[in-house]
Amino acid sequence: MAGRLGLTQTHISGIESGKIVPRYDTLLELVRTLGSDLLMVPRALVPLVLSLIRDQAKPADGKGEERALYAASDDRSAGEQPDEV
């Protein structure tokens, strides 16, 4: 990974151990290289964002599948049954 970022392994090790504090752009490159992204969230919204992440990661039916974060809704009110055919 160090080679892909143009950093030495010593520098990466220093970041990992907390001896070196990376610049924001270096941190962003590291995170993206690891297949993730950085998001800045207002502190007041952190609990909400964490709950969304936890809920999304839970299995939908116990089979390990992820649930859709957003679901399409129709015009029926909650609890209203569909018309029988």
pLDDT above 80: residue 6: yes
Nearest to 55 by CA among 38, 70, 34, 44: 70
Length of the chain (residues) = 85
At residue 57, the pLDDT reads: 76
pLDDT above 50: residue 15: yes
Q: State the SS3 of 23-45.
A: CHHHHHHHHHHCCCCCCCCCHHH
Report, as an integer, the average pLDDT of 36-61: 86
Query: For residues 42 and 65, which has the higher predicted lDDT (pLDDT)?
Result: 42
**Is there a contact between 37 and 29 (Cβ–Cβ < 8 Å)?**
no
Question: The pTM is what?
Answer: 0.51
